[in-house]
Amino acid sequence: MKAADLAELTTAQKKVNALRLDFPLLNKPLTFGGKPRPLVYFDNANTTQKPRQVIGALVSYYENSNANVSRAIHSLGEESTRIYEGARDRVKSFLNAAHREEIIFTRGTTDSINLVAQSFTSLLKSGDEIMVTEMEHHANLVPWQMAAQSLGLTIKVLPFTDEGVLQIEKMPDLWSDRIRLVAVTATSNVLGTVNPVAEIIRFAHERGVPVLVDGAQSVAHQKVDVQALDCDFLAFGSHKMCGPTGFGILYGKKEWLEKLPPVQGGGNMIRAVWADHFETNVLPYKFEAGTPHMDGAAGFSVALDYLESVGLDFIYRYEKLLLAYTMDKVGDLPGLHVYGVAPEKGGILSFLIDGIHAHDLAAFLDTKGIAIRAGHHCAHPLARRLGVVSTARASFYFYNTMAEVDLFSDALREAIAKLS
Ligand code: PLP
């Protein structure tokens, strides 16, 4: 990496080390391989650690505010509703959405995408087409395949290059006037590639087709402004961005959400019910059936405060620098194969080392206190395209440090000596 970049990364360690103090699990004495060692948590694309501010918000919700939301007449119910609806305003401002009704609370990214896929099918008929990419997580593939199976739709797949760059120049060739929706990940959870989503949206919109963006790996790592991006739907989850598990967001443009029917019945999604029919509630409630994840909303709101105080631009830049530093440290390892070397890339390193199975490598690193993921990363078509069954994946967040990368590099060298 360039000397100026190294200097910038080195300077940033002070800020990062201060931030780390907020994360109980990063500061706890733990035992790995029979020895007390600090945790080196490089599995952030899977889920992130939680700062004490978020943990505190969850405890505080239950200690001070717990009651069911909406239609409550008593004070505690009103307080809980205030927190829950306050979280909606918080997400609206975080995304710069035009209307609070465009923010639907879900269980996570997968739930958000399934909601759109199930609801959108009401607008489709046999012979219609959905375009996806070859680098999608199963969560942004299988819901469309399920819709395709039940309705007789065709799935069109945009490929990527050996470097892991999405071949958007192939969009015109693959395009047809039967395409009804494009579903694309903003950042690949395996390759780390940051896709030119704005360009894809422009292309689809010029042809009158909406775009769903899977933001699971992007919203936590860079500033996403839904109005500037002009996406029609954006799906992401709280647990990959310092927030509680089981809570997520579907952003949808009002004009689309108004057109789409609800997919679950019961609770808050109704306005009135008769024995044989019902009237649907207004947005956003028409998509929020049943008692929602109130504590999730309370915690997520604080997670967004936390991420904005760290700075989304800082996070994006820092992870890029840390990845460059990592490549300087491990790039020359004998037998190393890196999957995904796109010029626009987030802090994700998927790799294999000749003669070592990814799972053996992950198990070995675990004895050193280093948590990485090994497997297909819920992206079978991508793995097939790469010609691998599994890869090892180290994925960073803003609280990872150069010192941790040094430990990782040393551990990989030891693994090569002992296992390959
Ligand atoms: N999309 C991408 C790109 C992901 O990386 C993931 C999870 O790793 C998901 C979707 C699914 O997220 P969740 O399991 O939180 O619903």
Report how far Cα 321 is from the mean position of its chain's Cα atoms: 20
- Separation between Cα atoms, residue 359 and residue 365, nearest integer Å: 10
pLDDT for 179 beyond 80: yes
Question: Structure pTM?
Answer: 0.98
Distance 33 CA to ligand 1 centre (A): 30
The band of 420, judged by pLDDT with boundaries at 50, 70 and 90, is confident
What is the pLDDT, as a whole number, of residue 39?
96
Q: What is the mean pLDDT of the chain?
A: 97
Query: Residues of the chain with pLDDT > 90: what percent?
Result: 98
Q: Print burial letters for 199-223: b (CB count within 10 Å at least 16), e (below 16).
A: ebbebbeeeebbbbbbbbbbbbbbb
The band of 62, judged by pLDDT with boundaries at 50, 70 and 90, is very high
Q: Which helix (H) or strand (E) holds 279?
A: strand 278-280
- Separation between Cα atoms, residue 96 and residue 109, nearest integer Å: 19
What is the pLDDT, as a whole number, of residue 29?
84
pLDDT single digits (tens) 216-238: 999 999 999 999 999 999 999 99
Identified catalytic residue from 378, 379, 392, 416: 378
The band of 243, judged by pLDDT with boundaries at 50, 70 and 90, is very high
Do 106 and 112 form a contact (C-beta atoms < 8 A)?
yes
What is the pLDDT, as a whole number, of residue 71?
73
Do 216 and 244 form a contact (C-beta atoms < 8 A)?
no
What is the pLDDT, as a whole number, of residue 72?
75
Please confirm whether the linkage preceding 29 is cis (ω < 30° from 0).
no
- Beta strand 270-273 with 278-280 is antiparallel
Distance 56 CA to ligand 1 centre (A): 25
Residue among 43, 46, 109 whose CB has most ligand 1 atoms within 8 A, to mutate: 109
Which residue is closest in CA terms to ligand 1's atom 12? 109
What is the pLDDT, as a whole number, of residue 70?
77
Considering the segment(s) 55-309 as one domain, its CATH architecture is 3-Layer(aba) Sandwich (3.40)
What is the pLDDT, as a whole number, of residue 25?
96
Q: What is the CA radius of gyration of the chain?
A: 22
The band of 382, judged by pLDDT with boundaries at 50, 70 and 90, is very high
Is residue 378 annotated as a catalytic residue, yes or no? yes
Taken in order 177, 183, 189, 193, the sign of the CA dihedral is: positive
Which residue is closest in CA terms to ligand 1's atom 8? 46
Q: Where are the domains of the chain?
A: 3-38+311-419, 55-309
Residue among 217, 293, 373 whose CB has most ligand 1 atoms within 8 A, to mutate: 217
Do 371 and 41 form a contact (C-beta atoms < 8 A)?
yes
Strands (E), 88-219: 103-106, 129-133, 154-158, 179-185, 211-214
The verdict on domain 3-38+311-419 having CATH code 3.90.1150.10 is: yes
CA distances from 88 to 52, 75, 141, 290, 302 (A): 22, 20, 27, 17, 12
What is the pLDDT, as a whole number, of residue 46?
98
pLDDT single digits (tens) 77-110: 999 999 999 999 999 999 999 999 999 999 999 9
Query: Could you tell me the two tokens for 99?
Result: 């209307």
Q: Residue 383: name the closest of 152, 188, 104 by CA.
A: 188
Distance 109 CA to ligand 1 centre (A): 6
Length of the chain equals: 420
pLDDT single digits (tens) 4-52: 999 999 999 999 999 999 999 999 989 999 999 999 999 999 999 999 9
Distance 244 CA to ligand 1 centre (A): 15
The band of 252, judged by pLDDT with boundaries at 50, 70 and 90, is very high
What is the pLDDT, as a whole number, of residue 132?
98
Who lines ligand 1 at CB under 6 A? 45, 108-110, 137, 139-140, 185, 189, 214, 216-217, 237
Residue among 46, 48, 110 whose CB has most ligand 1 atoms within 8 A, to mutate: 110
pLDDT for 304 beyond 80: yes
